[in-house]
């Protein structure tokens, strides 16, 4: 079984369930031979064990509530309520009421969308299981200003749209099977300082026929300048319906390819302390105050071996991962940058003796919060540069994607 998914907490729950079941059988066998007073005490014990069993059985959160207009208080029927970056979501009913079940305790980044209203992004934190009532009040969106509709294609817009499409979808093996369904919702601007920026008036719909997802992206910001891109907004995944079993198997196989060597794969491997086994080599930059020697000089080549033990040190996942406040959380702690290589692929890197995809990860706050499965629940402003910073929607998996055990 995948050790990143099966934590000591799960083992404890299993043992607790077995203990409770045995105690039930023992107590029931005694019950029929006791006098009424002792039967009452035994009944209380059984009820207490039942409560403990229920907690062990279902330590999850259920969200309920209503989505309404902030000004009028009127319900917004059939609004989308979802966990950001996941396939977990639902539609409110005709009265704006929604219900989401079986959610993990911890941080939940919620998204709520409704046509003509500003999408809500709100992080909720639950440390105890149970039913939680959360009301969402939505602001009506601003009317569009200064948008020109062209009767025929505009060459400059088409050129810029190609750039935006490339930067959103990527250029990997899956990109050709992805498309933006509704490019007309993009407002594109060429800034005087050379930046190409964009926003969406409605969610951008991306169909990923390589991985089997339809993605709804509220593009709050897009900024492309000198080959570097930044974009942000809420993301909702929907599963596409495969035309046959062969396509279903192909999508699953492609999802595994997308996972392999990804950021999620890296973080799950850290939690499981299986970096080397999963193909990763991670080096931690040594703080300046602890460096005793300078970097050894090579002969024309920049060799990682010359930096080892002088500027960087190999590190295992167990040295970087700390327990979180909840069993669903882990802390990835590093006061200095990490240099990461994925050794199962060949690529250029800063080091001649390490020809593998290279990524540098920095932690301005010294840590981030992740799940045992490798999803970042609290990024704390961390920065990714290099190979893993090139992930795009063509290879993006939802937060709730699980690999085979």
Does residue 323 contact residue 367 with C-beta atoms inside 8 Å?
no
Q: What's the pLDDT score for residue 24?
A: 52
Burial degree of 260 (CB within 10 A; 0-12, 13-18, 19+): middle
Q: What's the pLDDT score for residue 295?
A: 62
Decide if pLDDT at 368 tops 70: yes
Mean pLDDT of the chain: 86
> What are the pLDDT digits (tens) for 235-277?
999 999 999 999 999 999 999 999 999 999 999 999 999 999 9
> What are the pLDDT digits (tens) for 94-133?
999 999 999 999 999 999 999 889 999 999 999 999 999 9
CATH number for the segment(s) 61-138 = 2.60.40.1120
Residue 100: closest CA among 121, 122, 83, 117: 83
Kindly state the DSSP code that residue 308 receives in the 8-state scheme. B
- Confidence band (pLDDT; 50, 70, 90) for 50? low
> What are the pLDDT digits (tens) for 30-40?
555 556 555 55
235 beta partners: 217
Q: What's the pLDDT score for residue 48?
A: 54
- Taking residues 6-29, report their average pLDDT: 50
Q: What's the pLDDT score for residue 7?
A: 43
Among 18-32, 215-229, 323-337, the range scoring the smallest mean pLDDT is 18-32
- How many angstroms separate the CA atoms of 184 and 150, rounded? 11
Tell me what percent of the chain is helix, strand and coil, each rounded to the nearest 5.
Answer: 25, 30, 40
- Confidence band (pLDDT; 50, 70, 90) for 75? very high
Does residue 186 contact residue 204 with C-beta atoms inside 8 Å?
yes
């Amino acid at each position: 079984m995948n050790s990143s998914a099966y934590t000591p907490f799960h083992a404890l729950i299993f043992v607790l369930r077995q203990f409770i079941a045995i105690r039930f059988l023992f107590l029931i066998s005694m019950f029929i031979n006791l006098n009424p007073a002792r039967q009452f005490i035994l009944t209380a014990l059984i009820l207490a064990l039942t409560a403990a069993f229920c907690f062990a059985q279902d330590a999850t959160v259920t969200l309920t509530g209503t989505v309404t207009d902030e000004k009028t208080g009127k319900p917004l029927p059939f609004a989308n309520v979802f966990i950001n970056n996941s396939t977990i979501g639902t539609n409110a009913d005709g009265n704006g009421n929604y219900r989401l079940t079986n959610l993990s305790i911890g941080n939940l980044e919620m998204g709520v969308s409704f046509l003509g209203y500003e999408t809500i992004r709100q992080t909720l934190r639950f440390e105890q299981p149970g039913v939680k009532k959360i009301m969402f009040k939505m602001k009506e969106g601003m009317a569009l200003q200064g948008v020109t509709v062209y009767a025929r294609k505009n060459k400059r817009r088409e050129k810029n749209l190609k750039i935006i499409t490339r930067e959103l979808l990527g250029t990997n093996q899956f990109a050709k099977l992805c498309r933006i369904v509704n490019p007309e919702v993009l407002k594109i601007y060429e800034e005087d300082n050379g930046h190409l920026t964009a926003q969406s008036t409605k969610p951008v719909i991306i169909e990923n026929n390589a991985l089997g997802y339809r993605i709804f992206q509220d593009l709050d910001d897009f900024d492309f300048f000198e080959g570097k891109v930044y974009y942000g907004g809420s993301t909702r995944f929907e599963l596409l319906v495969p035309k046959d079993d062969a396509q279903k198997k192909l999508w699953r196989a492609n999802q595994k390819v997308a996972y392999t060597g990804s950021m999620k794969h890296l973080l799950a491997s850290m939690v499981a302390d299986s970096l080397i086994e999963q193909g990763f080599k991670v080096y931690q930059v040594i703080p300046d105050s602890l460096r005793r020697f300078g970097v050894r000089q090579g002969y024309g080549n920049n060799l990682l071996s010359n930096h080892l033990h002088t500027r960087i040190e190999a590190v295992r996942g167990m040295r970087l991962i700390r327990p979180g406040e909840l069993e669903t959380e882990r802390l990835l702690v590093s006061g200095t940058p990490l240099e990461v290589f994925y050794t199962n692929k060949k690529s250029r890197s800063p080091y001649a003796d390490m020809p593998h995809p290279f990524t540098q990860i920095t932690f301005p706050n010294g840590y981030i919060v992740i799940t045992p499965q490798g999803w970042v629940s609290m990024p704390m402003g961390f920065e990714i540069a290099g190979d893993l910073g090139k992930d795009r929607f063509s290879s993006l998996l939802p937060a709730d994607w699980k690999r085979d055990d």
